[in-house]
Amino acid sequence: MHSGDSAVPVITIDGPTASGKGTIARHVAQALGWHVLDSGALYRLTALAVQQAGGDGSDARQAASQARGLDARFEDGQVFLGDLPVGDDIRTEAIGVLASRVAAWPEVRAALLERQRSFRAPPGLVADGRDMGTVVFPDAALKVFLDADVAIRAERRHKQLIEKGISVNITDLLEDLRLRDLRDRGRAHAPLVAAHDAVIVDSSHLGVESVVQQVLGLCRARGLAA
Ligand code: DC
């Protein structure tokens, strides 16, 4: 696996859980005709593999070996583990929590580093996650840190889950997001933090389209889009 072509431009979109990074990354990538990397999906796939092997994420070596051996493919907007599409199996709150737990192990992060960099391919890549601008693509041409108030993020996630027919209690969801934020921001390795050269965008009171337009405006200002 090669580590990506450093001449290919990258836009990173980092931020806390449910800040809308994935949606914004997809829209921006589509507008530019670039590739997209949902790095959280790799941590979620690792968590699913750990769970399927009967683990609970407390064994760093086991989790790292699952991460290294991941037979993951992204095709037509779908995620496959082996030949099976994982569908919404990696989008549950339980897998999100386990993903946040395994992501705290430096061994797991190291195991996924080159795999993430290999998504860097012409004409460009939009990568979303927690450490895209700080660790994985420190030379990105544009770094965005997308934040939003935790109560608003909980409401958005609640609405998304209801739309998928998954019923959850909003108070539990809010507590879950708070705990995940604490773990992602507080971990020793590659914590969730805005890169020193990131542009901070607060989406608490902005719709998807205005955030996308703001990011595309930043791209134009840097000569990344016409
Ligand atoms: O973005 P997400 O909710 O799908 O990510 C799931 C978990 O994976 C998140 O709680 C932390 C971890 N993660 C990470 O540590 N680094 C990334 N670049 C992406 C996700």
Domain CATH code at residue 70? 3.40.50.300
Q: Using one digit for the tens of pLDDT, what is the confidence trace for 114-127?
A: 999 999 999 999 99
Domain that holds residue 46: 10-205
Look at residue 210 and tell me if it is in a domain: no
Look at residue 139 and tell me if it is in a domain: yes
**Ligand 1 proximity of 131 Cβ (cutoff 6 Å):** yes
Q: How many domains does the chain have?
A: 1
Look at residue 221 and tell me if it is in a domain: no
- In angstroms, what is the span from residue 226 Cα to ligand 1's centroid? 31
**Ligand 1 proximity of 44 Cβ (cutoff 6 Å):** yes
Look at residue 4 and tell me if it is in a domain: no
Residue 76 has pLDDT above 90, yes or no: no
Q: Which of 24, 38, 39 to mutate to test the pocket of ligand 1 (most atoms within 8 A of CB)?
A: 39
Residue nearest to atom 20 of ligand 1 (CA): 40
Residue nearest to atom 6 of ligand 1 (CA): 40
Residue nearest to atom 4 of ligand 1 (CA): 40
- In angstroms, what is the span from residue 132 Cα to ligand 1's centroid? 11
pLDDT at 215: 98
Poorest-pLDDT segment among 56-60, 75-79, 80-84, 145-149: 75-79
User: Of ligand 1's atoms, which has the minimum distance to the CA of residue 22?
Assistant: 1
Look at residue 22 and tell me if it is in a domain: yes
**Ligand 1 proximity of 39 Cβ (cutoff 6 Å):** yes
Residue 101 has pLDDT above 80, yes or no: yes
User: Of ligand 1's atoms, which has the minimum distance to the CA of residue 100?
Assistant: 10
The secondary structure of the chain, three-state, reads CCCCCCCCCEEEEECCCCCCHHHHHHHHHHHHCCEEEEHHHHHHHHHHHHHHCCCCCCCHHHHHHHHHCCCEEEECCEEEECCEECHHHHCCHHHHHHHHHHCCCHHHHHHHHHHHHCCCCCCCEEEEECCHHHHHCCCCCEEEEEECCHHHHHHHHHHHHHHCCCCCCHHHHHHHHHHHHHHHHHCCCCCCCCCCCCEEEECCCCCHHHHHHHHHHHHHHCCCCC
Look at residue 1 and tell me if it is in a domain: no
Look at residue 186 and tell me if it is in a domain: yes
pLDDT confidence of 3, banded at 50, 70, 90? low
pTM, to two decimals:
0.92
What is the mean pLDDT of the segment spanning 181-201?
A: 92
Poorest-pLDDT segment among 96-110, 117-131, 139-153, 176-190: 176-190
Look at residue 194 and tell me if it is in a domain: yes
